[in-house]
Amino acid sequence: MLSSFRFLVPVAFVAAVAANPVSRSLVLHEQRASAPNGFVKIGAAPADQVLNLRLALVNSDMAGLEDSLYAVSTPNSALYGQHLSKDEVEEFVKPAPESVSIVNEFLAAQNVTAKSISPAGDWLAFSVPVSKANEMFDADFSVFQHEETGKQSVRTLAYSIPTELQGHLDLVHPTITFENPFAHLPVVSSPLSATAKEQNLTSRASVPSSCDSTITPACLQALYGIPTTLATENSSTLGVSGFIEQYANQADLTSFLKAQRSDLPSDTKFALQTLDGGSNPQDASDAGTEANLDIQYTVGVASGVPTTFISVGENFQDGDLEGFLDIINFLLNETNPPHVLTTSYGQNEDTISRALANQLCNAYMQLGARGTSILFASGDGGVGGSQSSSCTTFVPTFPSGCPYMTSVGATTGVTETAADFSSGGFSNYFGTPSYQSSVVSAFLSAQGSTNSGLFNTSGRGFPDVSAQGENVEIIVGGESGTVAGTSCSSPIFASVVALLNDRLVAAGKSPLGFLNPFLYSDAGKAALNDVTSGDNPGCNTNGFTARTGWDPVTGLGTPNFPALLSAVGL
């Protein structure tokens, strides 16, 4: 899936194609048998409706980049920690000159001008009406509606490309990939008092009894041994992704810190970066539950770590990927991207095409090779996917199936058990990576024939790890409340990683970067709290069951900061 290949096309033939596009032969490139579950076709798309299309060119050497990623991310490697520079990554990623030439010849023949939208030049963007898109790609762009939400989008179930573009053009988007109909947001559990009670969190000898019903930073410090001492390294930063007009409120953070982290300066602030027209208005009415959760449980847990809220607007350059690719390209374009990136959004794997999922996954590989730890919430629908209500086979989520990021599931309770909404399972697109092959094999042996035929036994298993995800107390618009979801868990685990990075950088060492080879090593596994009870029901089944070792409910377990500090050599 990662290998690239090229066809060398004679210049004379290219010129002939450009001069006579009508005679071009087309070959089917991508198709899906039907729209994803819940979508229905309404009718043909208006011929004059403008489509913003994106082309992904075949990369030069993704297999080589994968080798380099594992070399700098595997603890026993001689190159461990020697992360790649921006230029080094782009050398692997940039398309071959002949690919650029042939694709541009094709576009010129169609009187289309495209612009590059990625640092390595492997993504191009242009706009054409539906009638032109249908002609260029032998497509049938139609209007599809999601029955439950009413959202409409223009898609085709198949498209073709000229034969001379094979091996040079990876995909056209958006074509057979459908929008995510459900925003992955935390579920509001219950309201609390308008003003949270202040606590002294600096001297917890044991887990507070209140943690049985409400999770706060004090609970996490006690459960996971997270230190309260301030980070010291300004160069080791933590990024928090913001999408779908979710805004992080500074006043709410101040109130949260006064109530929950009185040992920290209450005027502690987070930085802001924006792209795609993003913003972060500060009216109380604009405060977002997800954004506030993510900021309060990074700033309020990763004590003193410089934290940046990255707000992605609605002017997407990546088509209807809703900024998922844009934010990675934005960070790849930086000389010093954040050492940790946490994202609490996702979608069902079957809504995205295999080729596009591979492209996004490869983007995470690029950022991981640069030294960024990428964490995503696994989803909140158990084995039913991302808050899915109906299914006949288990539904993996994306990007949790991608092997180059760290998927975070959820636990609940002081004696931790799996949260029943914690999405987990096995990808239908990506195979089991070598770093987890032994633990996945052990799980499948213990699983036996239970739920046989409902999931892909050769797929990449997720989540990788987990953290508390239920009854988590936050402040939104000045009001306290509790929320639940793996979107609580990802920023919590990311904060632990950020604090580890701070200690590593202070000791003159590299940040952890891509986490999974370390987490699945003997030292990494021993530094996590194994969660061995609970399950994640869905699709009219009990789902998977947490058990000793890795499982597709809680992964390898929850963090133990002192043990992890020792495992990374400090």
Tokens 């992904």 correspond to 56
Q: State how far the Cα of 71 lies from the Cα of 368, in Å rounded to an integer.
A: 12
Q: State how far the Cα of 155 lies from the Cα of 34, in Å rounded to an integer.
A: 11
Q: HEC profile for 77-130?
A: CCCCCCCCCHHHHHHHHCCCHHHHHHHHHHHHHCCCCCEECCCCCCEEEEEEEH
Active-site residues: which are they? 290, 294, 487
Q: State how far the Cα of 31 lies from the Cα of 45, in Å rounded to an integer.
A: 18
Q: Where are the beta strands (DSSP E) in 174-227?
A: 187-191
What are the two backbone dihedrals, phi and then psi, of residue 130, each rounded to the nearest 5 degrees?
A: -55, -45
Residue type, 219: C
Chain center to CA of 342: 8
DSSP state of 521: S
Helices (H), 265-376: 289-299, 324-332, 354-369
From 315, 505, 287, 534, select the one nearest 418 (Cα to Cα): 534
Contact predicate 427/463, CB 8 Å: no
Q: State how far the Cα of 287 lies from the Cα of 64, in Å rounded to an integer.
A: 43
